Chains A and B, each alone.
Chain A
Amino acid sequence: MISSVDKTCPLTFASVDPDAALKAVVGKKRSEVLAEVAASGLKGRGGAGFPTSVKWNLAAAARGQEKFVICNADEGEPGTFKDRVILSDYADLVCAGMTAAAYAIGATRGIIYLRGEYTYLRPHLEDVLARRRGRSLLGPKILGKDGFDFDIEIRMGAGAYVCGEETALIESLEGNRGEPRNRPPFPVDTGFMSRPTAVNNVETLAWAACILANGAEWFKKHGTEKSTGLKLFSVSGDVERPGVYEFPLGITIAELLRHVGGENAKAAQIGGASGHCVPASQFERTIAFEDVPTGGSVIVFGPDRDMLEVAENFLEFFVEESCGQCTPCREGSRKLLEGVKMLRKGTCSMKYLRELCGLGQTMQLASKCGLGQSAPNALLSIVEHFKDDILGRTPQAV
Chain B
Amino acid sequence: MLVTESDKIREDIRKLTETYGRDRSALMPILQEVQKKYCRISDIAMQEIADLLSIHPVEVYGVVSFYSFLDDKPKGRFIIRLCRTISCTMQGKARVAKQLENDLGVLFGQTTADGLFTLEWANCLGMCDQGPALLVNDQVFTQVTPDKVHDIIEGCRRSFAQHVSQKREEH
Given contacts A156-B32, A158-B67, A305-B90, contact A175 B24 (CB under 8 A): yes
B111 CB, min distance to chain A CBs, angstroms: 17
A167 CB, min distance to chain B CBs, angstroms: 15
> How long is the Cα–Cα vector from A9 to B53 in the complex, in angstroms?
49
Q: Are A177 and B126 in contact (CB under 8 A)?
A: no
Does B113 touch A at the CB level, under 8 Å?
no
Given contacts A160-B68, A310-B86, contact A175 B128 (CB under 8 A): no
Which residues from B are CB-within-8-Å of A175? 23-28, 53, 63
> How long is the Cα–Cα vector from A316 to B126 in the complex, in angstroms?
18
Which residues from B are CB-within-8-Å of A235? 129
Q: Are B123 and A161 in contact (CB under 8 A)?
A: yes
Does A151 touch B at the CB level, under 8 Å?
no
Given contacts A76-B124, A79-B124, contact A158 B32 (CB under 8 A): yes
Does B74 touch A at the CB level, under 8 Å?
no
Q: Are B140 and A120 in contact (CB under 8 A)?
A: yes
| Total A residues in contact with B, Cβ cutoff 8 Å | 57
Q: Are A119 and B138 in contact (CB under 8 A)?
A: yes
A342 CB, min distance to chain B CBs, angstroms: 20
Does B127 touch A at the CB level, under 8 Å?
yes
Does A314 touch B at the CB level, under 8 Å?
yes
Set A117, A158, A314: member contacting B126, Cβ < 8 A: A117
Considering only residues 6-47 of chain B, those with a C-beta below 8 Å from chain A are 23-29, 31-32
Does A331 touch B at the CB level, under 8 Å?
no
Does A321 touch B at the CB level, under 8 Å?
yes
- Chain-B contact segment, one of A93-101, A132-140, A237-245: A237-245
Does A75 touch B at the CB level, under 8 Å?
yes
Q: Are B124 and A3 in contact (CB under 8 A)?
A: no
| Total B residues in contact with A, Cβ cutoff 8 Å | 38
A-B contacts at CB below 8 angstroms, number: 131
Q: Are B138 and A156 in contact (CB under 8 A)?
A: no
Set B62, B70, B87: member contacting A79, Cβ < 8 A: B87
Does A55 touch B at the CB level, under 8 Å?
no
Which residues from B are CB-within-8-Å of A155? 28-29
B60 CB, min distance to chain A CBs, angstroms: 9
Q: Are B123 and A158 in contact (CB under 8 A)?
A: no
Does B130 touch A at the CB level, under 8 Å?
yes
Interface centre among A115, A177, A178, A238 (most CB of B within 10 A): A177
Set B31, B85, B130, B131: member contacting A4, Cβ < 8 A: B130
Given contacts A237-B90, A238-B90, A242-B129, contact A159 B69 (CB under 8 A): yes
Which residues from A are CB-within-8-Å of B68? 158-160
Given contacts A78-B123, A175-B26, contact A299 B135 (CB under 8 A): no
> How long is the Cα–Cα vector from A173 to B130 in the complex, in angstroms?
31
Which chain B residue has the least Cβ–Cβ distance from A176? B63
B61 CB, min distance to chain A CBs, angstroms: 10
Q: Are B129 and A177 in contact (CB under 8 A)?
A: no
Q: Are A174 and B86 in contact (CB under 8 A)?
A: no
Q: A84-B126, A237-B90 are in contact. List 15 more A-B contacts (CB 8 A).
A: A6-B130, A79-B86, A80-B124, A155-B29, A158-B31, A158-B69, A159-B68, A175-B24, A177-B62, A177-B63, A237-B128, A238-B90, A243-B129, A309-B86, A310-B86
List the 6 shortest-distance A-B pairs measured between CB atoms, nearest first. A175-B27, A236-B128, A158-B67, A242-B129, A159-B68, A159-B69
